[in-house]
Amino acid sequence: MALFLHGVFHTSSYTSTLHRRFFSASLPFSCTGSLSSVLSVDVERTEEGGGSRTRLIAQNIPWSYSGDDVRRIFQKHGVVDDVELSMHNSTRNRGLAFVTMESEEDARNALSNLNSQVVEGRVIKVEYSTSTKKKKPSLEIKPTTKFTVFVGNMTRKVRSRDLREFFTAFNPNLLSVEIIFKKTDTDPRQSAGYGFACFASLKEAEAAVTALNGKKFLGRNIRLVLGRKVFAETTEEKTIEDTPI
């Protein structure tokens, strides 16, 4: 089973429980592509050339589901070879999983039986994971350094587009933003009141902190803290990109 944490898929034979806090101003945040709300994920299909039709993508799955939970609902309709679960943090997924079935027939059965079905109150979407363009024989990996700023004390009603507009008014070269959401008893998509902004240089990140820390944003004085630099690998093909709500 593979887990996806902060923009990168990691393969793991089992899901371990991570005993550390996910968010900290001193922790790096992987800014890959154009990140924004964790509630809306636009995924470029990764299978080469639309080849074998055994790989499926499942969207809007329950956030509490583990890879084993996803495997359980798919194996009712065929043999499951592998499950790749996109994780938001150590305890919650992003509502997205890739499932590889043993045969094309198994994949067809799973797709026809599970697409648009209600799973724990959520209507899941299942379709083939196919590529819109053929993968290049080799991709040059270009390491880039990106710098993050922790943004705290935001209103619970904030959305990614609000935060992007706020930062781009100061610096049009902003790379990306992300609002962190949490599930509550009354609202399954409530902002946690904090998020991240990503810049290409330390100078830009420091300038944003100096100029905007304590400023009014949607009625609240936000708190900005400079995080550590992040080394991210970029390729000529973009694989995952979050889109604004």
Would you say residue 34 lies in a domain?
Answer: no
40 or 28: whose pLDDT is higher? 28
Answer yes or no: do 68 and 11 share one domain.
yes
* pLDDT at 147 > cutoff 50: yes
135 or 127: whose pLDDT is higher? 127
Q: How long a stretch of residues is the chain?
A: 245
Mean pLDDT confidence for 185-190: 75
| Residue 50 phi, psi dihedral angles, 5° rounding | 60, 35
How far is it between the farthest Cα atoms of the chain?
Answer: 58
Answer yes or no: do 10 and 123 share one domain.
yes
Beta carbons within 8 Å of 175's beta carbon, 6+ residues apart: 31, 34, 146, 198, 199, 200
Looking at every residue in the chain, the average pLDDT score rounds to 72
**Residue-level pLDDT at 87:** 78
| Domain harbouring 16, CATH code | 3.30.70.330
Answer yes or no: do 179 and 201 share one domain.
yes
**Residue-level pLDDT at 8:** 37
Q: Which of 103, 128, 153 is the last residue of a domain?
A: 128
Would you say residue 183 lies in a domain?
Answer: yes
* pLDDT at 38 > cutoff 80: no
Answer yes or no: do 123 and 180 share one domain.
no
Answer yes or no: do 9 and 119 share one domain.
yes
Would you say residue 91 lies in a domain?
Answer: yes
**Residue-level pLDDT at 190:** 78
pLDDT tens figures, 48-86: 344 468 999 999 999 888 888 999 999 999 999 888 888
Answer yes or no: do 117 and 202 share one domain.
no
Answer yes or no: do 117 and 188 share one domain.
no
Range of the domain at 100: 2-20+45-128
Beta carbons within 8 Å of 80's beta carbon, 6+ residues apart: 71, 74, 99, 100, 101, 102, 106
Answer yes or no: do 12 and 119 share one domain.
yes
3-state secondary structure the chain: CEEEECCEEEECCCCCCCCCCCCCCCCCCCCCCCCCCCCCEEECCCCHHHCCCCEEEEECCCCCCCHHHHHHHHHHHCCEEEEEEEECCCCCEEEEEEEEECCHHHHHHHHHHHCCCEECCEECEEEECCCCCCCCCCCCCEEEEEEEEEEECCCCCCCHHHHHHHHHHHCCCCCEEEEEEECCCCCCCEEEEEEEEEECCHHHHHHHHHHHCCCEECCEECEEEEEEEEEEEECCCCCEEECCC
Q: How confident is the model at residue 101 (pLDDT cuts 50, 70, 90)?
A: very high
Cβ atoms 145, 233 nearer than 8 A: no
**Residue-level pLDDT at 229:** 46
Would you say residue 154 lies in a domain?
Answer: yes
Answer yes or no: do 119 and 148 share one domain.
no
Answer yes or no: do 107 and 153 share one domain.
no
Environment class of 131 (CB within 10 Å of its CB; exposed 0-12, middle 13-18, buried 19+): middle
Mean pLDDT confidence for 184-193: 78
* pLDDT at 132 > cutoff 70: no
Give how many domains the chain has, as a whole number: 2
* pLDDT at 170 > cutoff 80: yes
138 or 53: whose pLDDT is higher? 53
Answer yes or no: do 67 and 149 share one domain.
no
Would you say residue 238 lies in a domain?
Answer: yes
Would you say residue 234 lies in a domain?
Answer: yes
Q: Which of 128, 150, 170 is the last residue of a domain?
A: 128
Would you say residue 55 lies in a domain?
Answer: yes
Percent of the chain with pLDDT over 70: 64
Q: Which of 101, 128, 155 is the last residue of a domain?
A: 128
Answer yes or no: do 124 and 146 share one domain.
no
Would you say residue 38 lies in a domain?
Answer: no
